[in-house]
């Protein structure tokens, strides 16, 4: 099986589901990693790893969707609920810009009290005041919330965001794109098509986006394959995904914590990255990170097919709510990438190189 | 097996055929860019011996004193007599530190200027009398050599007396890096030199006392010095055969700062893999989670390691030197480290007798 997969991978042939299943469930980890790394270097011969200077603030923690994996949200009216004004969000962006941020990944809960104009103002004001920053705002389910609050179609909302100056959309909220998993852990968020349809419409409008995966809870291997198949097929349509970004579910303070006490460890992460490099043959970038499983596993991951190391995440609140805290500076990112044997390069949201170190 | 570095093919042929790797092979393994190629060969070698098994032990460390006459540059643990932070445990203290569920107690301490050899002998006797089921792994070759330097007690006599008192095995510390250059540079010339260190382990093996071996890496040593170290251990094992486990020790930079940062995890994974490949006569190679961190230790189980050490209810030496890992990892956490790697946890005793397989 491994020989067949190697043969296909090096001849540009697409892996089938049963091959994906073998890679996820059976293949020796280092065999998968070595293969993924060879594919990565065939595609990007340079020993370079990119990263982005970014921040992940949130505009509200109010949410009506009650996802079982989330420790961040509060119901409307909760005494710990909060929503920032446009000016308060911009102040956060300003402080990240002062530290060199070029990307702001802004997301929040599904807060039905917020009108469309609030979101549009966030985009236009960010564009106006911080022309060097890419507003990488609002995941698929937030865009659906905007549409339903404003009684517009998703396409209309995407048009308005585009007109306001937005060009990229973050890939959060995919979790695992399988009907079984999503109905179990996020029944109010809709099946895989809910996430996929927004990204399909966004790519059609000209947006770029990322595809994420949060694994390590109730999913089985077939659910992961459903996820891979779905995003690979969508990528075939218009090529709108820049990168695939997996991370493990962190159970602290979530409803799922009752059944799942710990996050999956580093080996599962390395395997996920390596398999995605092989299976997602039409994705340009595979993003490993110092954040998800820690800096050690993140450095090792650069030998398992990943070519990008994510962002600085100056502000991060969602994992923090699950008691998972990890921070880094630009200097440390550069040092760690170098130490791992690669040339660090700062990129934009859309993976253009800004500077090599 | 396919490699991205063609230099690994002849090495793989040797490994598969059970042929011994040479010094040049060792240097190639440290030099190649194909980290996962090195790891896969080591993983194969480990799997041939142990399959999916990964060992751990319910253990604790007892460190009698941090008072030490030496001034090794890499050590953040030692204190001079009377210096702030120095301590000396009584035998009663040490007996009380060991609990019944502990299977192995690991005893290593500073080279105390005044404690007579009999103090160590009584320490072992007392712990053994109070906890006859607990296996005692005690004293590095450096400490045994120090008793000769200080009290003119021959290593053989010391080990015979300690064995009679209840000592069952010896840890592998004090080896540092077998290099006269580094011994001078890092001020450990006052410690058993490589020949003496190996001689004492040979004596122990001759008395039926199994031992471990270590290598302190990730400071200012060269790959060639690592290879020399490993080959010297392999030679000693050929001669006396009593080594159980090789334990690579990552230099902890926080307190003593020989280098600005801890060596990256890929270097530790490579070192473990190369050790598994060069030390073809060592039964076990350990991924010591305290010095590696849990993530790297878990990944190392794919790079040739078949042991993670143990639950370690107390680990003073590494922690005073700044190791980041939380002390006292419970059995459940060790399970997670082993199972995340897809391996089967096997609880062992100090001598690698299987206590329980956790399928």
- Residue A22: what are its φ and ψ, rounded to 5°? -60, -45
Residue B316 confidence (pLDDT) above 60: no
Integer Rg of chain A from CA: 19
- Which chain B residue has its CA at the smallest distance from A265's CA? B340
- Looking at the complex, report in whole angstroms how far the Cα of residue B37 sits from the nearest Cα belonging to chain A: 7
- The average pLDDT across B295-316 equals 89
SS3 for B170? strand
Strands lying side by side in the sheet with A208-215: A54-55, A103-106, A134-137, A168-169, A208-215, A241-248, A285-286
Q: What angle do CA A339, A343, A344 make, to 5 degrees?
A: 90
CA B74 from chain center: how many Å?
Answer: 16
Please answer whether residues B22 and B227 qualify as being in contact, where contact means their C-beta atoms are separated by less than 8 angstroms: no
CB contact (8 A) between residue A267 and residue B37: no
CATH assignment at residue A217: 3.20.20.70
Residues whose CB falls within 8 Å of the CB of residue B20, separated by 6 or more in sequence, listed in order: B14, B280
Percent of chain B with pLDDT over 70: 95
Q: What pLDDT does B190 receive?
A: 86
Please answer whether residues B186 and B179 qualify as being in contact, where contact means their C-beta atoms are separated by less than 8 angstroms: no
Instruction: Nearest by CB to B299, from A264, A300, A336: name it.
Output: A300
CB contact (8 A) between residue A266 and residue B340: yes
Taking only the tens place, the pLDDT of each residue in A172-185 is: 999 999 999 999 99
What domains can you pick out in chain B, each with its CATH number?
21-357 (3.20.20.70)
* Helical pair B35-50 and B265-278, crossing angle rounded to 10 deg: 50
User: Tokens 């097929």 correspond to what residue?
Assistant: A233
Task: Name the band, by pLDDT with cuts 50, 70 and 90, for residue B49.
Answer: very high
Taking only the tens place, the pLDDT of each residue in B285-302 is: 999 999 999 999 999 999
* Residues in A touching B266 (Cβ below 8 Å): 299-300, 303, 340-341
- Sign of the alpha-carbon dihedral angle for A182, A188, A193, A194: negative
User: In angstroms, rounded to a whole number, what is the distance separating the alpha carbons of residues A15 and A274?
Assistant: 13
Q: What angle do CA A327, A332, A334 make, to 5 degrees?
A: 130
Q: What pLDDT does A321 receive?
A: 85
Task: Name the band, by pLDDT with cuts 50, 70 and 90, for residue A325.
Answer: confident
Closest CA to A242 of A268, A275, A203: A203
ipTM score assigned to the predicted complex = 0.94
Residues whose CB falls within 8 Å of the CB of residue B226, separated by 6 or more in sequence, listed in order: B26, B30, B177, B215, B217, B271, B274
Q: What pLDDT does A294 receive?
A: 93
- The average pLDDT across A257-262 equals 89
> Between residues 228 and 257 of chain B, which touch chain A (CB distance below 8 Å)?
none
CB contact (8 A) between residue A300 and residue B269: yes
Q: What pLDDT does B314 receive?
A: 58
User: Tokens 């705002």 correspond to what residue?
Assistant: A137
Sequential DSSP letters for A27-64: S-HHHHHHHHHHHHHHH--S-EEEEE-EE--BSB-B-S
Of residues A222 and B76, more confidence is placed in A222
- B302 vs A: CB within 8 A: yes
- Residue B97: what are its φ and ψ, rounded to 5°? -70, -25
- B190 vs A: CB within 8 A: no
Closest CA to B139 of B171, B183, B104, B176: B171
Q: Which of A267, A273, A328 best probes binding to B when mutated, by most B CB atoms within 10 angstroms? A: A267
Q: pTM of the entire structure?
A: 0.94
- A30 vs B: CB within 8 A: yes
Q: What pLDDT does B254 receive?
A: 72
Instruction: Nearest by CB to A33, from B36, B265, B341: name it.
Output: B36
Q: What pLDDT does B320 receive?
A: 54
CB contact (8 A) between residue A37 and residue B36: yes
Task: Name the band, by pLDDT with cuts 50, 70 and 90, for residue B330.
Answer: low
Closest CA to A288 of A21, A18, A12, A40: A40
Instruction: Nearest by CB to B341, from A38, A267, A294: name it.
Output: A267
User: In angstroms, rounded to a whole number, what is the distance separating the alpha carbons of residues B297 and B292?
Assistant: 6
- Looking at the complex, report in whole angstroms how far the Cα of residue B341 sits from the nearest Cα belonging to chain A: 6
Task: Name the band, by pLDDT with cuts 50, 70 and 90, for residue B74.
Answer: confident
CB contact (8 A) between residue A34 and residue B36: yes
Range from A40-44, A58-62, B93-97 carrying the lowest mean pLDDT: B93-97
Q: Which of A28, A35, A221, A266 best probes binding to B when mutated, by most B CB atoms within 10 angstroms? A: A266
The pair of structure tokens assigned to B192 is 């058993």
- State the number of CA atoms in the 13 A half-sphere of B62 facing the CB: 28
- A332 vs B: CB within 8 A: no
- Which chain B residue has its CA at the smallest distance from A31's CA? B40
- A265 vs B: CB within 8 A: yes
Into how many domains does chain A fold?
A: 1
Residues whose CB falls within 8 Å of the CB of residue B173, separated by 6 or more in sequence, listed in order: B108, B140, B142, B214, B249
Eight-state DSSP code of residue B80: -
Q: What pLDDT does B321 receive?
A: 56
Please answer whether residues B257 and B218 qualify as being in contact, where contact means their C-beta atoms are separated by less than 8 angstroms: no
Task: Name the band, by pLDDT with cuts 50, 70 and 90, for residue B202.
Answer: very high
Percent of chain A with pLDDT over 90: 92
- Which chain B residue has its CA at the smallest distance from A335's CA? B261
* Residues in A touching B293 (Cβ below 8 Å): 294, 296
- The average pLDDT across A155-176 equals 98
Q: What pLDDT does B328 receive?
A: 45
Closest CA to B289 of B352, B351, B339, B337: B337
- Looking at the complex, report in whole angstroms how far the Cα of residue B23 sits from the nearest Cα belonging to chain A: 24
- Which chain B residue has its CA at the smallest distance from A300's CA? B266
- Looking at the complex, report in whole angstroms how far the Cα of residue B40 sits from the nearest Cα belonging to chain A: 6
- Residue B250: what are its φ and ψ, rounded to 5°? -75, 130
Residues whose CB falls within 8 Å of the CB of residue B303, separated by 6 or more in sequence, listed in order: A30, B38, B39, B42, B43, B269, B270, B272, B273, B276, B287
Q: What share of chain B is helix, strand, coil (3-state, %, to 5)?
A: 45, 15, 40
- A28 vs B: CB within 8 A: yes
The pair of structure tokens assigned to B108 is 């290593």
User: In angstroms, rounded to a whole number, what is the distance separating the alpha carbons of residues A176 and A226?
Assistant: 8
Task: Name the band, by pLDDT with cuts 50, 70 and 90, for residue B312.
Answer: confident
Measure Cα distances from B7 to A31, A55, B28, B44 in Å. 18, 44, 8, 18
- The average pLDDT across A97-114 equals 96
The pair of structure tokens assigned to B304 is 């040739």
- The average pLDDT across A50-63 equals 96
- Which chain B residue has its CA at the smallest distance from A305's CA? B36
Q: What pLDDT does B319 receive?
A: 54
* Residues in A touching B342 (Cβ below 8 Å): 29, 267
Please answer whether residues A267 and A286 qualify as being in contact, where contact means their C-beta atoms are separated by less than 8 angstroms: no
CB contact (8 A) between residue A266 and residue B43: no
Residue B323 confidence (pLDDT) above 60: no
Residues whose CB falls within 8 Å of the CB of residue A222, separated by 6 or more in sequence, listed in order: A21, A178
Task: Name the band, by pLDDT with cuts 50, 70 and 90, for residue B326.
Answer: very low
User: In angstroms, rounded to a whole number, what is the distance separating the alpha carbons of residues B208 and B173?
Assistant: 19
Taking only the tens place, the pLDDT of each residue in B124-152 is: 999 999 999 999 999 999 999 999 999 99
Instruction: Nearest by CB to A296, from B40, B293, B303: name it.
Output: B293
- Which chain A residue has its CA at the smallest distance from B43's CA? A30
- The average pLDDT across B191-219 equals 96
Residue A283 confidence (pLDDT) above 70: yes
User: In angstroms, rounded to a whole number, what is the distance separating the alpha carbons of residues B139 and B123?
Assistant: 12
User: In angstroms, rounded to a whole number, what is the distance separating the alpha carbons of residues A53 and A148?
Assistant: 33
- The average pLDDT across A292-317 equals 94
User: Count of CB contacts below 8 A, A vs B?
Assistant: 80
Residue B327 confidence (pLDDT) above 50: no
- Which chain B residue has its CA at the smallest distance from A338's CA? B264
What string of H, E and C letters represents the secondary structure of A337-348?
Answer: HHHCCCEEEEEC
Range(s) of the domain holding residue A313? 2-356
User: In angstroms, rounded to a whole number, what is the distance separating the alpha carbons of residues A205 and B270?
Assistant: 47
């Amino acid at each position: 099986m491994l020989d067949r997969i190697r043969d296909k991978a090096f001849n540009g042939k697409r892996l089938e589901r049963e091959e994906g299943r073998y890679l996820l469930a059976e293949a020796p980890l280092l065999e998968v990693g070595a293969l993924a790394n060879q594919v990565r270097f065939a595609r990007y011969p340079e020993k370079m790893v990119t990263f982005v200077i970014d921040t992940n603030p949130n505009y509200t923690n109010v949410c009506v969707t009650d996802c079982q994996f989330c420790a961040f949200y509060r119901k409307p009216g909760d005494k710990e609920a909060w929503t920032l004004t446009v000016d308060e969000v911009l102040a956060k962006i300003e402080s990240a810009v002062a530290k060199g941020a070029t990307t702001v990944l802004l997301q929040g809960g599904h807060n039905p009290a917020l009108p469309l104009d609030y979101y549009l103002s966030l985009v236009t004001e960010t564009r106006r005041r911080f022309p060097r920053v890419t507003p990488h705002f609002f995941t698929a389910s937030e865009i659906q919330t905007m549409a339903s609050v404003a009684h517009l179609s998703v396409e209309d909302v995407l048009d308005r965001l585009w007109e306001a100056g937005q060009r990229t959309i973050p890939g959060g909220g995919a979790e695992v794109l399988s009907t079984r998993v999503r109905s179990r852990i996020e029944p109010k968020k809709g099946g895989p098509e809910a996430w996929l349809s927004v990204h399909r419409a966004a790519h059609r409008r000209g947006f770029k986006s990322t595809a994420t995966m949060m694994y390590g809870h109730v999913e089985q291997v077939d659910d992961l394959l459903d996820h891979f198949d779905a995003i690979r097929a969508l990528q075939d349509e218009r090529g709108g995904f820049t990168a695939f970004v997996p991370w493990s579910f962190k159970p602290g303070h979530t409803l799922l914590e009752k059944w799942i006490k710990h996050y999956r460890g580093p080996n599962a992460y390395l395997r996920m990255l390596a398999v995605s490099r092989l299976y997602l043959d039409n994705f340009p970038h595979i993003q490993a990170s110092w954040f998800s499983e820690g800096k050690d596993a993140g450095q090792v991951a650069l030998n398992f097919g990943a070519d990008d190391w994510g962002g600085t995440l100056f502000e991060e609140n969602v994992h923090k709510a699950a008691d998972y805290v990890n921070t880094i500076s630009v200097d440390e990112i550069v040092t760690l990438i170098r130490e791992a044997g690669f040339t660090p390069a700062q990129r934009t949201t859309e993976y253009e190189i800004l500077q090599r170190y | 097996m396919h490699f991205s570095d063609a230099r690994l093919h002849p090495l793989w042929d040797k490994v598969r055929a059970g042929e011994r790797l040479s010094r040049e092979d060792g240097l190639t393994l440290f030099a190649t860019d194909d980290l996962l190629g090195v790891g896969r060969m080591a993983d194969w070698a480990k799997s041939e011996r142990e399959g999916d098994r990964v060992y751990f032990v319910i253990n604790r460390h007892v460190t009698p004193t941090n008072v030490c006459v030496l001034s090794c540059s890499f050590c953040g643990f030692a204190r001079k007599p009377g210096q702030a932070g120095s301590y000396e445990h009584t035998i009663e203290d040490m007996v009380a530190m060991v609990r019944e569920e502990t299977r192995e107690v690991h005893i290593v301490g500073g080279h105390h200027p005044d404690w007579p050899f009999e103090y160590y002998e009584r320490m072992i006797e007392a712990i053994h009398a109070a906890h006859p089921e607990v296996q005692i792994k005690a004293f590095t070759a450096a400490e045994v050599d120090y008793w000769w330097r200080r009290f003119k007690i021959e290593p053989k006599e010391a080990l015979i007396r300690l064995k009679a008192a209840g000592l069952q095995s010896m840890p592998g510390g004090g080896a540092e890096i077998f290099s006269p250059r580094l011994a001078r540079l890092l001020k450990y010339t006052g410690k058993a030199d490589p020949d003496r260190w190996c001689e004492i382990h040979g004596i122990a093996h001759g008395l039926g006392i199994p031992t471990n071996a270590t290598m302190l890496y990730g400071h200012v040593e060269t790959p060639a010095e690592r290879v020399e170290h490993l080959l010297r251990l392999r030679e000693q094992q050929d001669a006396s055969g009593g080594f159980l486990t090789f334990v690579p020790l990552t230099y902890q930079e926080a307190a003593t700062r020989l280098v600005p940062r801890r060596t990256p995890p890929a270097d530790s994974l490579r070192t473990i893999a190369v050790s598994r490949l060069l030390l073809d006569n060592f039964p076990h190679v350990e991924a010591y989670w305290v010095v590696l961190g849990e993530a790297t230790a878990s990944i190392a189980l794919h790079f040739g390691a078949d042991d993670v050490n143990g639950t370690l209810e107390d680990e003073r030496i590494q922690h005073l030197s700044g190791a980041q890992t939380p002390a006292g990892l419970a059995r459940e956490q060790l399970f997670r480290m082993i199972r995340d790697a897809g391996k089967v946890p096997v609880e062992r005793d100090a001598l690698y007798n299987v206590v329980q397989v956790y399928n």
